[in-house]
Structure 1
Amino acid sequence: MTDTEIRTSSGGVIHGGGGDEGDGGHGPNGNGHGGSSESAQMLRLLTWLGLVSLAMGLGSLAFIYLHQALDRLADRSFQPPGLMWVSTVLIVGSSASFIQGHVSLRRGQTQNLVKYLSSTLALGCLFLFSQVMVWSGLVSQGVYATTYPLSGMFYIMTIAHAIHVLGGLGWLGVVTKKAWAGKYSETNALGVELCGLYWHFLTLVWLVYFVVLMAVH
Structure 2
Amino acid sequence: MNESLHVSSQFDEDLGRLRTHVLQMGGLVETQISAAIDAYTTGEVASVKTIVETDRKVNDLEKAIDDDCAHIIAKRQPTASDLRLVLGISKIVTDLERAGDEAKKIAKGVRRIYEAGHMPAQYGVGIRHLAEAALTMVRQALDAFARLDGTLAVSVIRADADVDVEFKSIIRQLITHMMEDPRTITTSIDIISISRAIERIGDHAKNISEQVIFVVEGRDIRHNKEAIK
Q: TM-score range by the shorter chain?
A: 0.3 to 0.5
So what's the TM-score if we normalise by structure 2?
A: 0.46
Structure number, greater radius of gyration: 1
Higher helix share: 2
Structure 1-normalised TM-score?
0.48
